[in-house]
Amino acid sequence: MVLLLQYTIIFASVLCLVALGGCFSEHSGVINLGLEGIMVMGALGGAVTMFLLPAGTSKFVIVLATTLFAVLVGMLYSVLLGVACINFKADQTLIGTAMNLLATAAATVFVRAMNTSINPDNVSSAIQYIKPKKAFLKYIGNFEFNWFMVMALVLLIVSYFVLYKTKFGLRLMACGENPQAADSVGINVYTMRWAGVLISGFLGGLGGIVYITAGVSEWKFEMGVAGFGFLALAVMIFGQWRPTRIALAALLFGLFRALSNVYTGIGFLAAMNIPSTVYNMMPYIISIIVLAFTSKNSRAPKAEGIPYDKGMR
């Protein structure tokens, strides 16, 4: 049960971070379906950083550098969404889908090129980070505590405060509800939408590195992030675009995802002899069921997905 709790919290942390990223973007009026791709690129930035850091680097530097490069690469990749959808008013759904397809392919090519430059016989798309990963871990009895759990909690609190207690957050949400009205009182809608997209890149990139370091010390980038970006979108919708509800939804989805990792260690689940693939499918099945029953009552920002035209009223 300790292992189940451990995996539930870490997977919930991933889903919460990425869903909060989508929340900021959509509150600004931009649908970010490219969260899956942003996660992949953030994971790439963090994993390459851990791989390249010299032996003997202090734990603090490892944590700081890995986190910094993960969020920077995630933000850089989210610029594609901002340029296409805010500046050029492209279809947000198509751009997000293209970003997801591009990210896994680009990351795989990059890692293979990096590996072959080091060893011509190594054409793997995997990056190892066995020793650096230990910098994020601390054992409390049998519980494996991960510093990313703290980051997720802190960013959850900060997100709630920013959205509901600051002028920036209220202006951001105004741009997602009625951008013309926001513009009429002097709010720069383009700037606020760019801020929402970049924040989603920040949180999505961080979620990516948290995901790939959750239980393994090597990651093959051709595997992407197993649909976690789409699960995060389901968490965001189920959580009604509100940080506190998103956190609760993330715990629910995180629990079902954790079951696929530890079902053999839980007596009554192991006794049922259900194939492991069923447990792997459970989070995605649950997301379909939950959205089928709750989407009718969901209240998305009214102007999300609609390119802003300053001349429209």
What pLDDT, in 10s, does the model give residues 234-244?
999 999 999 99
Tokens of 18: 């990425």
Closest alpha carbon to 221 in 117, 130, 125, 128 = 125
Distances (CA, A) of 227 to 101, 163, 179: 12, 27, 32
Tell me what pLDDT residue 313 has. Answer: 60
Contact yes or no for 18/47 (Cβ under 8 A): no
Window from 12-16, 121-125, 275-279 with minimum mean pLDDT: 275-279
- Domain 2-297 CATH class label: mainly alpha
Compute the average pLDDT of residues 290-311: 83
- Own/partner contacts of 163-171, CB < 8 Å, gap of 24 or more, are 163/23, 163/24, 163/27, 163/243, 168/195
The residues that bridge with 64 in the sheet, in sequence order, are: none
Q: Decide if pLDDT at 267 tops 70.
A: no
Q: What is the pTM of this model?
A: 0.94
Tell me what pLDDT residue 265 has. Answer: 54
Compute the average pLDDT of residues 288-301: 82
Compute the average pLDDT of residues 299-308: 90
Q: Which pLDDT band, with edges at 50, 70 and 90, does 62 fall under? A: very high
What pLDDT, in 10s, does the model give residues 31-59?
999 999 999 999 999 999 999 999 889 99
